[in-house]
């Protein structure tokens, strides 16, 4: 359901969307990537949290995009200083932003 909502939101806003799932306890030496109707879904590797993956890959996003939006429920991640063009939100805040769109879906 989350990926479907992000997909619709990204199409309406004309954003490229990535969803990162924490596979911290899954035995995998590499991240796994899947394309779900244009949404890139990432499953982290063993002993890697989703927030660690996001922080590690944000620099590449800054090189490619003028603005980067990150939604996370991790309190420590929310408190870090956002860079110019980066917008952070709680998972609940992002859900509130996408929820009105559900009436159109």
HSE (side-chain half, CA atoms, 13 Å) at 88: 17
Tokens of 83: 């860079």
Indicate yes or no: pTM above 0.85.
no
Tokens of 35: 């394309």
Token readout for 36 is 């779900």
pLDDT tens per residue across span 93-105: 444 454 444 433 3
pLDDT 10s digits, 58-88: 778 878 877 777 777 766 655 664 554 555 5
Residue 88 token pair:
């952070």
Q: Which two tokens stand for residue 98?
A: 């996408």
């Amino acid at each position: 359901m989350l990926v479907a909502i992000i997909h619709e939101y990204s199409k309406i806003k004309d954003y490229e969307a990535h969803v990162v799932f924490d596979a911290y306890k899954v035995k995998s030496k590499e991240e796994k990537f899947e394309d779900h109707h244009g949404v890139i879904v990432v499953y982290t590797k063993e002993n890697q949290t989703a927030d660690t993956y996001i922080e590690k890959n944000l620099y590449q996003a800054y090189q490619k995009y003028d603005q980067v939006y990150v939604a996370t429920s991790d309190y420590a991640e929310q408190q870090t200083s956002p860079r110019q063009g980066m917008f952070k939100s709680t998972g609940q805040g992002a859900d509130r932003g996408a929820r009105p769109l559900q009436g159109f879906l």
